[in-house]
Each structure stands twice: as structure tokens, then as C-alpha cells.
Structure 1
Amino acid sequence: MKKSTRVLAAALCGILLLPAAGCGEKETTGGDENLDLSVHLHIYDYCVFDDDWAIFKEAEEKTGVALHGTAVETISSSAQAFSTMLADRTLPDIIAYTGDELKENGMQGALIPLEDLIEEHAPNIQKFFEECPEAKVAATATDGHIYYIPGTLAQPGLGNLPSMGFFIRQDWLDALGLETPTTVDEYYNVLKAFREQDPNGNGQQDEIPYFKRSGVLDDLYQLFGAKNSFYLNADGGISYGATEEAYKNAVKELAKWYSEGLIDKEIYTRGEQSREQLLSSNLGGSTHDWFSSTASYNDKYLGFGLNFVPMAPPADINGVVKEDIGRSILHGLGWGISKDNKNPERTMEYFDFWLSEEGTLLHSFGIEGKDYTVENGEYQFVPEVLNAEGGVPAYLRNEGAVVEFGAINRIEAELAGMNDLAKEGFNMYLDNGYVQPQMPSLGFTEEEQNVINAHLTDIQTFCKEQEQKWILGAEDVDATWDNYVATLQSMNLDQVIAAYNSAYVRYQQELN
């Protein structure tokens, strides 16, 4: 806990002098001639490479390499866009997508192995792999070759970083004379008071004590010592929590919460707008969400005194204070070089630029002088960025910054875009070591991947549908539990778990 805090503090205080100040790092300068390369980048069903993205224009000035996108926005599905691209007779020079797909298609010949190019042309990538060995493991296919350069959500070595946390209406607590809950039982009692004691003062029982944009209740399951998906167990393996007794008991308890009106009646249907809708109408009491965006709502709704503040995770039924949802170091995407690329050496040098200090700054903060300034070694976004409609991340993404490809996103950039309340929540979870280790990015053999492809989607769909029936009260947990577990076994859940464990054993061996 203290170690991770010190490391982050050092990163924030000693930040980032450019290589001219002497980091012992080689900057990528590129060749003498300008080079045009085509790139396929279509991710998350909405993010499509734009030739006019400002940070790529800036990178062109520094490297002599200009990228031109081939993906089109008229195809809304990233998976469909990827399949369509692969069907073309000639592939684009660079392919950006999920690491799993890049490795699989690399082994089939669509992308070329990169390890020799990395050794000869990419000192920054070599350094990255040394500092972040899990990135090299993730990038290595089961045939032993590296087919893509992965990217990260934070620089290596910072430990288990927060992403989300609990928020609660401090103004409602004050109105009812209540203290911030510190245990799951206290949290239940506070939510019950929110429901029954009219904290918004309008004379109606219209408060919605707990809501969530995603409709996934993993943050509440953890309060009962339960998991609802794959997780790292205490024996050093991987388990699937949704068949365990702790999960069964958690579902029963949350079904009770729902029946008592403590959980949003539209938890599974209200969707992404629930936070905006319920806070703007003075109806929402507590949630679990991103620190940066959630902490911004107090400034938006000063009229009725909204005071929505981060709080520590309530201690679970075993007395443990922890946060299961955190920031994986790898975001799972990256880019590789296609078989039709005529300039693999220059392309690798271009990739290497993005893993340099200069490239990392450009990717994380945007363009110096335009998007951010440096004062006394501290990086600060300019007011236009800080006050941008939609927030700092949306502004940066419109310039191509913080888009997920083979680059490092420095955590300082996220913190620089946070208000003081968001930083308070982030640091609370960081300094107290609440965040638990996250599932690593695993590489599966063809046989393992076939098992997962054949069964996992159906298993997850069945679990989600059954969970909703239980939470909504449509079916009794005790009466249907045995059949639920038996059905999952008939859907080959054990085979899927075995595939995950085999991949995890290899991951540990390769990491060590």
C-alpha cells in the first residue's frame, strides 16, 4: 500500500522531463524521407481513425510518417469492420484492434512477427517490455511470436490503481442526521433511510437510493464477499464466482434490497443516462462510478445543493474493506504490422516513437502549448481543455489523444483533468490500498480459444438473465439454484474454467 503510493507520488512530483534532459532514452527520429502509411483503427463501435486528429499531425512532424485511415464510420460494428478489412485483397499497413484478434490473425499470416524488428529498431519498446513484462506476455502468441504492440491505461510500476468508487449524497446524510456508512449493514440502513425519510424534502417517496449506469451489480456483490465472474482465487488459480455459495447469498440479499425499493427499479433498463437523470432531478442517492466524471456533478446542480461525494467501500460481511473493481494496466488493444506493409522497419520506428517519453506525453496530454502547459515541472491542461463540454477525456479523444493503441497513457493526465473532489476519491482508494489485483490479460491456445468461443457467450448470457430474474423477484433463488448450477455444468462451464486456468499457468510461467 505504502509502496504504491510512494511510486505514484514520485511519478507525480518528478514528472517527465523530455529526453533532452537526459533519461538515457533514445528518441525515434525516423528516416530521411516522408512516408505515408495506411491504418485500420475502428474500436469500441464508435472510435474510428480520423486523418485530421491533431496529435497524429504532430507525430507526423516529428517522425515524417503520416497515417491515413481505412476504416469507415458507416460500419457501426468494430467487429464487422475488422472482418471486412481482413477480407480485402490488400491489407492496410497497420492494423489496430484487440490483442487477441491481432495474435490470432498473426498466427494465420495476416500480420508479421515483430520481435526482430523490435530488437533492431525499437529501444523504447524494449524498455517498455522490461518495465512491464505483462505487456510482453500479453503480446506474445502461443506460437512464440509477438504480433502487436500493446498499450496501457497507466505507466508500469504503479501498483493497483483505482478507476471507480462509491459515491453518496452527503447533503441527504446531513438532512437526515446520518453518518457516512462504513459497513454493509450501515450502507443498507442508510439506503433504507433515503427511501423512507424524504431526504430531498419534496414530500414524496420518490428517492432512488442506489442506481448504476451499467446495471452490473459487481460493486454490491463484493459487499457480500462474492464475485459474479472470473476472478483470481486464494489458491493461485481462476474461479468463476457466479456458481459459488457466496454469490447465491449475495443475490438473495440484493433481491431483498430491490424488493424494498433500495435499488433502482429500472436498474437493468435505465442505462447510461441514469446518473444524469437521477442526479439532475434530485432523486439519486448513491452509486459506484468513475471518479473523474461523477465528481463533476456538484458543479452542475448547485441549485438544490447537490453534494455527491466519494466514500470508502463499506466493509463487507467479513469485515474486509476492499475494492474489487480497478484499473488493469493493459487495456487489451494495440497495433501490428500487416503482411502487405512494404516499410516494416520505418513502421516499427514509428511505433517506437509512441513509446518514447515524447510520444507518451503527446498521447496522454495532447500538444504542448495548445492543450497543456508545463510549470515548475507540473503538467496542467489549459482552461479550454479543463472546461470543455463533455469533459477532458472527450476533448482529448477528439484530437486522437488517449485513444487506445500501442501507447502509454500516463495516469498524471487523468489526474490533471480531475477536480479536487475526484482527486480526493482517487487518492482515498489508492492510499488505503483498497483496490485488489485485477485479472491479467491471458493468451489462449487455439484449442482453448475454441472452447471459450463455443461456450462462454452463452454461459454469460444465461447467468445475466438468471441474475435479473432473481433480483427482480421473478424467481426464487433457493428454489432454482440447483437447476441453475446444473445448467451451467451442462453448458461446459468446467471446460471454460479449465481453459482459463491453463492460460493462467502459462502466463505465470512466462512472467517469471
Structure 2
Amino acid sequence: MLKKASHLILAASVVLSVSACSSGNKESGGTNPTTDSNSEASTKTEKIYFYANGGQVSQTKMSKPEDLELVKQAIIDKIGIEVVPIIPPKGTEEEKLNILLASNEPLDVFLAGKLPNFQSKGALMPLNDLLDKYGANIRKLWPEDWATSWDAVSTPDKKIWGIPRLPAIAGNTVYMRTDWLSKLGLQMPTTIDELENVLKTFKEKDPAGSGQTIPLLTNLSGLNNSLAAGFMGTGYGNWIDTDGKVKPAVMHPGYKEFLAKMADWYQKGYIFKEAFSAKNERITELVKQNRAAGFAGWYSSIAGNESALQQNEPNAKYEVAAELKGPKGYVTSMGGIDVSGWAISKSSKNAETVIKYIDWLHSDIENYFLAFYGIEGKHWKYVDKEKRVLETLNTDYAGEFVIGSTFAYTVQFESKDPVNAPQFDYMRKYITDTKRALMPGDAEEAYKYDNALINEQVPALSDLTRMMEEEVTKFIMGARPMSEYDKFLQELNHAGMDKWIEVYTDQNMKVKAAK
């Protein structure tokens, strides 16, 4: 498929990146789960063995020992539970997790990146009874309009195998340099025609100077996910045709119109000339170098680097083109439904304690801040308590005790830190706003597809995916004329697209029938 399931995982990484990082110097072996640092306390407290693979910490990003101990004891004093973090070895996190699951070493809870894979192998414990008894706050915290996330961590028999952490999100968007819009007498664009005029003006007036202005900094994924929905009337990705069949985005009539417009913009010099070869690092540097007038792509490329840009350009300011629409409506696409979740190992001896602890974290954001940021006044402080704006004071505590990190809390607070503040702002205002972002046509079923079976039944799957991406790039860059687009679709059919459509349609119908 053209849509990338990795978007949601990237989004999780961005959410977690706003946490404190560590300058500690623990041994590379990480925390020893069999060592009691306080034997007296351990006889009075319950323990949780936690594989800390949620992106918060690593072998090179951990707390100072004395700060870790302070936070651990504070949590024990409040709830009588000791969290024993097992730090994933850098580069082999998944391998270590599989070893733990297959061994007799203690392991209670971990983040299952693709929860169905673990559940199908019998590695997890169902959570229904535990949530009913001890998880009222877990259920309460998760908004009702994100309910599909619970379906994503459940099986058709209604058994729940994990606690969701992410809803469907819209991380791709269009940003504009509003200081340059003002300088040139332009308004924030709300239509494709207005956007085209803005890009044209940016190119001609060159606000960066010396011909360095890039009207629209982007890449293929950014274009697809930030603009294509406005031409398709559905989120970028698979869609359901009038014949009831699931088809890839390239076969949507509106996508052909979208590509024609992007090809025209590229030929006119509005789109970054290296858009289809530049790495993320290159895009970040161009933002910091004061060259990007507009941007289409993952929000943190702008939100996470605006403060660095402002060090040299104090007046520089990016804002989201929130009302931008194409001929078929809003231009932004939602990602797919996330299938990751906080899971309890089937062999866990402390499952009740895990749910009690996560429920305690989810019962009060102050509890969450303790595990996430550390001790108030020592590791962080409030800037505005009523609005939940906080500031980190140091990086001595890295967050080893956060189990059940959740987007439901991420949108409830923000950081004063100039690097993180724009990211919180975007997440709070836009990332779950379904009014301005469209889901792909089969999104309500796609997360339940049997991907292993799809790979088996469509032997040309990877070739078709590569072919679609390569040819789309050629059309935009002008290496292949748009007059050959119908020929391209015929080439896909010859390469096995008919089988692709058959198998995905079958999967879609089976999921719908099981609901």
C-alpha cells in the first residue's frame, strides 16, 4: 500500500520526544530487574517489571541514579508500587523483548508496537476482567470519540489485549511563513488557487534573498498526506470505488488531477527541486537556514525546529494553513488506526498491579507528571498551573517509570520549552481534528486486515508498491508526461494489480462481515 503505517509510530516518537532526556551515566547493561535497591521497602510494596520500550529512555538516555531513586521512592510513598524498569539495549530492542517473552525472566508489561502480532502468538494476557476491576480511570481518560482505538487492541470475540496509546492522527499539514506573507501583503491561503498564487509570489519576490527561497519544501509523503485529500474527497490511501472494490490511491480519478497540479508546480519551480531525494536531515537544515516559505509534511519538521530558526531570525513564524481546501474539500489526511498498545505478558505474575498502577497514573495528571517528568520543584515546575503549562528544570530524571503513556494526556498540557511548545500547540489544536482531516476510505477496516495473508496472496505486493512510488515521482518531476497516466494504470494491471484489488477487497469484506 502507498499509505505508510509508520506514520503513527513516528507520531508516537514525536509525542514522547517532548519528555526529559538524561545525562546519566549508568552502566550499559541497564537496570537489573532482580536487584532490590531497598530490601525493606520491597517487602512492603508490590512490584512491576517493565520493559521500557515506549521511546522514553534507552541505554544512552537514562536518569542519574540518585534522581531515579528519588522518583521511585516518591511513587512508592504514594501508591505502594515499585516499578522496575528493564532498559532496552540500543539497536536490539525488539530482539531483547522476544527473548524476555520466551524466557523465565520477570516481565509484566511492555509496549506492543503491533499488538496483533504478539496476541496471535499467544504472548499476551486478556485484560477485560482486570480493566473491569481496576481500570475505571483508564477507560474514563480515553475520549469516547477515540473509541475505535479500543477496537484496534481487541479481537472479534471482544477480548481486549492492550491499552491504547494513540488515536488516529493527522500529523501531516501545510505550514506558511506568516511573517513573509505579511511582508508581501498576502493572506493565509484557503484554496488551491490561493496557495498557488502565494507560492508564485514567494518564488518571484524571494523573501529569503539571493534566490534561496523554497516556495514549498516537501517530499512525496508530505505532498500525498498534506494535499491529496483535497482532490480525492477521501484521505490519501486505499479507497472504496463505486464497484465496492478496494483500490490504491493512484487509481482514484482525483489523485490523477492532484498529480497534474503537482507536476505543474514542480515545473514552475514552486516545489523543492530535491523533494524526492532529500533526507529528513536535509529538510530540517533548510528550515533552520531560513529558506522554506511554505512546507507540506510531518508537523514536527517545522514545529520542532522553529525555535532554532528564530535564534537567527527572531521574527520568523510558521502557522498552519488550517482552512486550506481543494476542489473536494479539506486537503489533510488522517493516518490509519493505531494497533499498538500497552500489553501484559501472558506469564506476568503482577498483572493486577500493572493495571492498578496505570489506572493510578490515569486518575490524576499530577501522578502522570511524577512518572513522566519527576519531582515538582526539582525536575520541573509549573509556569501556569491552571492551564497546565510547565517547564523542565533539568534532565536528571528521564521517565523510566512511565507505563501507559497516552495521547489522552499529551493534549491536556504543554511545555514552555521553545523547542517543544510549537509541537504541543499543533497537537492540541490540529492533530486529532477530524473536521479538517479525512480518513482513507478503508481505514475503519484496514487495521484488522490479515497482512501476513495479504503478503502471501499478493506475491507482487512489494513490486507494486515500489512501482507506484517510482512512477508517481516521475510524473511530478516531468520525467514522464501526464498523458501517459492511463498507460501507467494499465502497466499496474499487467504487474498484478488485479490480484492486489481482489485480495484487499476480500479482506475488507471479511472485516465488515465480522463487525
TM-score, normalisation: structure 1: 0.72
**2:134 is aligned with 1:121:** yes
**Paired residue for 2:437?**
435
Q: Post-superposition shift, 1:448?
A: 6.0
**2:80 is aligned with 1:66:** no
**Which AA in structure 1 matches 2:78?**
K
**Paired residue for 2:477?**
472
- Mapped to 1, the partners of 2:331 and 2:257 lie a distance apart of 19
CA gap of 1:130–1:246, structure 2 versus 1, over 3 A, is: closer
Name the stretch that deviates more: 163-172 or 362-371: 362-371
**Paired residue for 1:10?**
none
- Mapped to 2, the partners of 1:48 and 1:56 lie a distance apart of 19
- Mapped to 2, the partners of 1:236 and 1:490 lie a distance apart of 14
Q: Post-superposition shift, 1:258?
A: 1.5
1:91-135 per-position Cα deviation (integer Å, ceiling 9, x unaligned): 6423423364x3333343222222222223333235457945333
- Mapped to 1, the partners of 2:509 and 2:305 lie a distance apart of 36
Aligned sequence identity (%): 20
- Mapped to 1, the partners of 2:260 and 2:466 lie a distance apart of 20
Whether the 8 Å contact between 1:237 and 1:504 is mirrored in structure 2 is no
Instruction: Select which of 134, 148, 160 maps to 1:146.
Output: 160
**Paired residue for 2:490?**
483
CA gap of 1:60–1:457, structure 2 versus 1, over 3 A, is: farther
Instruction: Select which of 235, 238, 255 maps to 1:230.
Output: 238
CA gap of 1:234–1:478, structure 2 versus 1, over 3 A, is: same
**Paired residue for 1:382?**
391
- Mapped to 2, the partners of 1:234 and 1:465 lie a distance apart of 27
**Paired residue for 1:302?**
313
Alignment map for 1:147-226 (pairs within 5 Å): 147-152=161-166, 163=171, 165-202=173-210, 205-212=211-218, 215-218=221-224, 219-225=226-232
Whether the 8 Å contact between 1:99 and 1:139 is mirrored in structure 2 is no
Name the stretch that deviates more: 240-249 or 408-417: 408-417
Whether the 8 Å contact between 1:50 and 1:69 is mirrored in structure 2 is no
- Mapped to 1, the partners of 2:240 and 2:287 lie a distance apart of 35
How many matched pairs? Answer: 452
TM-score, normalisation: structure 2: 0.72
- Mapped to 1, the partners of 2:142 and 2:429 lie a distance apart of 28
**2:381 is aligned with 1:372:** yes
**2:296 is aligned with 1:282:** no
- For structure 1, the residue ranges without an aligned partner over 5 or more in a row are 1-29, 154-159, 386-394
What's the secondary structure of 2:165's corresponding residue?
strand
- For structure 2, the residue ranges without an aligned partner over 5 or more in a row are 1-40
**Paired residue for 1:111?**
124
CA gap of 1:216–1:299, structure 2 versus 1, over 3 A, is: closer
- Mapped to 1, the partners of 2:351 and 2:423 lie a distance apart of 46
Whether the 8 Å contact between 1:169 and 1:307 is mirrored in structure 2 is yes
CA gap of 1:187–1:268, structure 2 versus 1, over 3 A, is: same
Q: Post-superposition shift, 1:261?
A: 1.6
- Mapped to 1, the partners of 2:131 and 2:232 lie a distance apart of 44
CA gap of 1:184–1:357, structure 2 versus 1, over 3 A, is: same
1:179-226 per-position Cα deviation (integer Å, ceiling 9, x unaligned): 433321221122123223333333xx3322111367531213234336
Alignment map for 1:298-447 (pairs within 5 Å): 299-302=310-313, 305-318=315-328, 320=329, 322-326=330-334, 331-358=338-365, 359-362=367-370, 367-369=375-377, 370-373=379-382, 377-382=386-391, 384=393, 398-400=398-400, 405=405, 408-414=408-414, 419=421, 423=425, 427=429, 433-436=435-438, 439=443, 444=448
